[in-house]
Structure 1
Amino acid sequence: MSWSRTTRAGVLAVTALSLPLLAACGDDADGKAAGAAKEPAAQDSSLVVYSGRSEDLIAPLLKDLEKATGAKVEVRYGDSAELAAQLLEEGDKTKADLFFSQDAGALGALGKNGRLAELPQKSLDAVDETFRADDGMWVGVSGRARVIAYNGDKVKDAPVSVNDLTKPQWKGKIGYAPTNASFQAFVTGMRVMQGDDATRAWLKDFKANEPQVYEKNGAVLDAVDAGKAELGLINHYYWYEKAAEVGEDKLKAKLSFPTKGDPGALVNVAGVGILKGTDADAAARKAVEFLLSEQAQTYFADETHEYPLAAGVSSKDELPALDSIGTPEVDLSKLESLDVTLGMLQEAGMV
């Protein structure tokens, strides 16, 4: 079985807004409740993974996953929100055994709708409780911090809060990617922290400050580095990836990590959950264990420049310690309310 990668452009908004409807469809397929147990297979001969992480990023790791589980790994790549909606629509008839999501919100949507099985306590305990589901339905395997990139030649006192970005001094000088999942997760986190009214007001003021629109985080960083934008909202690993490519001393772009508890300090995760009723439960559990192993965590640290969340692995990038970032106290499962966020972004004229 093989699938081609799907494209995010033009799909995310429709998919996320469809999650509630698709959940209803998946809950009563042919009169069966979603998550009803399947007849067990004779053995776990294959493991079907729905991956919201891109093929070029994790394909090498999934080859090692095949060795670790002893099962043939078959992967469907796509956008995390789109795949979550697909899994809700498929219900208990899905062929997927494991969902590897780029963000916690998509996992939260599946957990909320009863499509995930509770993970073994050993796997949950490998990760700080901040980066796993309270109900044990998913666990984070790598983390990425939101940061404010700034051009060191043009900016001497970089902002340390996203609330500073609505000040007149930054009018027309900020780059961001409003259709990118990481920006939308950040806005969702702000909604969870501060409420919809406060978030709506921030979006209105931020938009009035005439930020520069880019399609991706990488383009935002490039604009900041070139001086086309003085500030940019990105995930931390884009900077470390570029620094590894061209040399830190060649970069004019620098990073400001927002202060403790600021909405801009959100640390989101890529994580995994096992589909309820899977025929390959043993292989799926082994897969989760592997993704939390020293080998996989080192891969995330060294190859994707993300925060390893388990196994005591340190990053060669000398990242600020997670506990020093001061990520806000947000239940990451609640980032699943992306449909409301998209409505706000549309209302603000951002998407």
Structure 2
Amino acid sequence: MSIGNRSRRTYLRTVGCVIGGAVLSGCLGDEDDVLGDPEYVEDRPDPGGVSMDELPDLSGELTVYSSRSQTRIGELLDYIDDEYDELTLEVRYDDTADLISTIETEAETPADVFYGSESQSMTHLKEEGYTIELPDDVLEMVDTGSVDPDGHWTGFTRRFRAVAYNDSVFDEEDLPDDIFAYAEDERFEDNIMWPPDQGSFQAFVTAMRLFHGEDETREWIRAMVDDQNIETSPGGDSALAQAVGDGEVGVGLTNHYVVRDHGGDDLELTFTSDDAGAMYNVTGGTVMDASDDQETAADFVAHLLSAEAQEYFATTTWEYPTTDGVDPLEGLPDTDEFEPPEIDLNNLSDLDPTLELLREEEIL
């Protein structure tokens, strides 16, 4: 694919049409106001799906606990807050573990909505009895592969596991489509990186345990460390993308959207097939059982599935929408090109054995 050579996004470039760093495509000549990145929204087709104008107005006070960073979603939440004069939106941004710990130690959490950066955090809250089943009209906005079978959470975006590579070092056709081959091929010795402290990486290892068994997963990890001398990213997936793009290593195990964090010409992506390395996960939301206004909280979740929000996600986070009618960013692979394994995303919440394994192998 060839999106890695596009420059990083530039905020505030369209003076007078930017709200909180997100541009309205109406300012670019489109008929409807659609949130999106000013660098990528122009010339995109009008998004389909349900517009915010078709959803119930939001009013009252809502508290959102978000493990997605303010950098990724703050502009969208600010926009929704500004759209409704009667709405007061309070957002607490923190990492997943701290937010979950906070909820579990609060006598009664003030959070109305939990915004998860991965499915396992939402599943954990569901299993512990902190969430409610979402209304059918909200769940029906989402494709079936991105929603909790029990209806307690819905995905807002999808991200796929990927292998980032430097195309001045490797040609895509020469890279394997089997995740286990990366532990065996001597071309990757001293030339590969991973980010083991990231939740998405830990979900990937959890998927490997579920698909291939703990013994095979442990053997793979040991081979990556002992045979390939794999490097640990100094700063998560973004630093990994930088290292691959700069040629410090030839390949890195990551998520597909990291190309947005690197503006060089040499960073590209390839994908494995029908194994843990090809899995996908979702960001998403759930309504808390302790909420004093569960109806408005559910309507807020619906707003993050609206055409405007899905367009915003597509052009700013470079993730895949979970509703019909909004195209992924041009240059990203079509979802038909992916061959992910079948998985119930709820099973990714079985994280403790993964963390124990990573600690035993001194990865964490």
| TM-score interval (norm. to shorter) | 0.7 to 0.9
> Does structure 2 retain, via aligned residues, the 8 Å contact 1:68–1:286?
no
2:106 equivalent in structure 1: 90
Over residues 25-51 of structure 1, what are the superposed CA-to-partner deviations in whole Å (9 max), with x where a residue is unaligned?
xxxxxxxxxxxxxxxxxx962000000
Residue of 169, 183, 205 corresponding to 1:154: 169
> Does structure 1 retain, via aligned residues, the 8 Å contact 2:64–2:90?
yes
Residue of 136, 144, 151 corresponding to 1:136: 151
Q: Equivalent residue of 2:164, what SS?
A: strand
Distance 1:66 1:225 in 2: 37
Question: Counterpart amino acid of 1:186?
Answer: F
Distance 1:192 1:82 in 2: 26
Q: Structure 2 unaligned runs (5+)?
A: 1-57
Over residues 53-94 of structure 1, what are the superposed CA-to-partner deviations in whole Å (9 max), with x where a residue is unaligned?
111221111112325664210011111232123223326x11
Over residues 247-291 of structure 1, what are the superposed CA-to-partner deviations in whole Å (9 max), with x where a residue is unaligned?
xxx5112110212x2211111111100001310212211111100
Residue of 224, 248, 268 corresponding to 1:228: 248
Q: CA deviation at 1:161?
A: 2.1
Report % sequence identity.
35
2:347 equivalent in structure 1: 334
Residue of 205, 209, 213 corresponding to 2:223: 205
Distance 1:143 1:151 in 2: 24
Query: Which runs of structure 1 show a deviation greater than 3 angstroms over 4 or more consecutive aligned residues?
Result: 67-70
> Does structure 2 retain, via aligned residues, the 8 Å contact 1:171–1:211?
yes
1:348 equivalent in structure 2: 361
Q: Equivalent residue of 1:117, what SS?
A: coil
| Aligned residue pairs, count | 301
1:280 equivalent in structure 2: 293
Distance 2:185 2:327 in 1: 40
2:236 equivalent in structure 1: 216
TM-score (norm 2): 0.79
Distance 1:103 1:345 in 2: 19
Residue of 205, 209, 215 corresponding to 1:187: 205
Q: Select the structure that is richer in helix.
A: 1
> Does structure 2 retain, via aligned residues, the 8 Å contact 1:305–1:317?
no
Distance 2:260 2:330 in 1: 7
Distance 1:123 1:218 in 2: 33
2:128 equivalent in structure 1: 113
1:74 equivalent in structure 2: 90
Distance 2:267 2:60 in 1: 48
Q: CA deviation at 1:241?
A: 4.3
> Does structure 2 retain, via aligned residues, the 8 Å contact 1:98–1:272?
yes
1:313 equivalent in structure 2: 326
Q: Give the aligned CA root-mean-square deviation in angstroms.
A: 1.8
Over residues 162-198 of structure 1, what are the superposed CA-to-partner deviations in whole Å (9 max), with x where a residue is unaligned?
1111114111110111111221111112122223222
Structure 1 residues 241 and 310 mapped into 2: Cα distance closer, same or farther (>3 Å)? farther
> Does structure 1 retain, via aligned residues, the 8 Å contact 2:143–2:324?
no
Distance 2:297 2:91 in 1: 13
Q: Equivalent residue of 1:179, what SS?
A: coil
Distance 1:87 1:46 in 2: 19
Residue of 249, 262, 268 corresponding to 1:254: 268
Distance 2:336 2:126 in 1: 27
Distance 2:80 2:123 in 1: 24
Farther-moved stretch of structure 1 (98-107 vs 115-124): 115-124
Q: CA deviation at 1:159?
A: 2.3
Over residues 219-239 of structure 1, what are the superposed CA-to-partner deviations in whole Å (9 max), with x where a residue is unaligned?
111111222111101111111
> Does structure 2 retain, via aligned residues, the 8 Å contact 1:292–1:311?
no
Q: Structure 1 unaligned runs (5+)?
A: 1-42
Question: Counterpart amino acid of 1:160?
Answer: D
Q: CA deviation at 1:317?
A: 2.9
